[in-house]
Amino acid sequence: MTYQETDRAARTLSRPFGVRGLHVPNRIVMAPMTRQFSPGGVPGPDVAQYYARRAAAGVGLIVTEGTYVDHASAGTSDRVPRFHGDDALAGWSHVAEAVHRAGGKIIPQLWHVGVTRTPGAPPVPDAEPVSPSGLSLRGEPKGRAMTQQDLDDVVAAFATAAADAERLGFDGVELHGAHGYLVDQFLWSSTNRRTDAYGGDIASRTRFAAEIVAACRSAVSDSFPLFFRLSQWKMDNYEAKLAETAAELDTLLAPLAEAGVDAFHASTRRYWLPEFDGSDLNFAGWVKKISGRPTVTVGSVGLDGDFFNLFQGRGSGATGIGQLLDRLERDEFDLVAVGRALLADPEWAVKTLTGRTADITSPGGEALKTLH
């Protein structure tokens, strides 16, 4: 970076940001990334050190990896952390304390995998996969459709987890409503074929998500912010669209904002791609424009390839962030989530802010194998 580029990055990314009682010193967010380093679902000292290391190196806000809410069908691995049970909550309390000691802020991502659960898998092997209509992401029969009691139980599980997060000293929560997991399965017409109040048009398909948001909002204090992660794409369908137009996106977002979402985390694979024809706004830009809420952008920030390269054993090279700064300077979105780049180099934030980009370690497949 030249001096001018370094100064611009520092000036643009170092602006403070606040929502409700959360105040962060800069616009850099650590994106949630499943790591599976929590045996028995309990995050240990290594997990606390992993997050604290990034907080100490300049990340303004950390969003944890997805954590399972207290519902039998919520998870599909006994190495992904839970956000329930005395042992797991004690572990998360130590994580929050470590991040705060390092000068950072942290929010857990609350998660239910829905129909993507593998039958027979831990943490509850005999739990059947559940979803809106008993359909897989490909529209094939799998598991069972959720009853009203199921819906009420899941809503309550999210609300309890949100209250526990505040009690443990976290700075907010993020509700995982993206990527084809349970909440997103209700939003998506391909997996939601219900004929009751939770299915049908876009507004009806949003009801379950809005009930979760409202229950969480009621379970926490006014100063505790709620983030909501959403996406168009799914894990097995990169071209999927919840909303084909801005008008349809408005119909989707309005009930969520009204229910109490304070900020939307708009997930894309490549942040620089326009979401709808006729505008260069990306997904986060459109969500902010329509909802009036702050947004987090994400998607290959600082890298020249998308995240599937990493899972296929291929690395990605570091690239400039000039276009990202252009968009941030015109307030297209408010925060920038960084994933793989922070996985490979815990000091990505401070190196970017101080012009040491030549020293940034590019992510390779080995980054998935360790927790450092």
Q: How far apart are CA 188 and CA 329, in angstroms?
A: 33
Return the HEC string of 137-179.
CCCCECCEECCHHHHHHHHHHHHHHHHHHHHHCCCCEEEECCE
Positions annotated as catalytic residues are 181
Q: Are strands 263-267 and 173-176 parallel, antiparallel or unpaired?
A: unpaired
User: Positive or negative CA dihedral for 288, 284, 70, 105?
Assistant: negative
Torsion, Cα of 8, 13, 19, 21 (10° steps) = -120
Q: Residues 185, 231: contact at Cβ < 8 Å?
A: no
Q: Which two tokens stand for residue 267?
A: 């997930």
**Plot region of 302 (φ>0 → left; ψ -120 to 50 → alpha; else → beta):** left
One-character DSSP codes across 46-73: HHHHHHHHHHHTT-SEEEEEEEE-SSTT
User: Positive or negative CA dihedral for 357, 359, 361, 362?
Assistant: positive
Q: Which residues contact 11 (CB under 8 A, 6 or more apart)?
A: none
Q: How far apart are CA 177 and CA 96, in angstroms?
A: 23
Q: How far apart are CA 267 and CA 364, in angstroms?
A: 22
The overall longest dimension of the chain from CA atoms, in Å, is 60
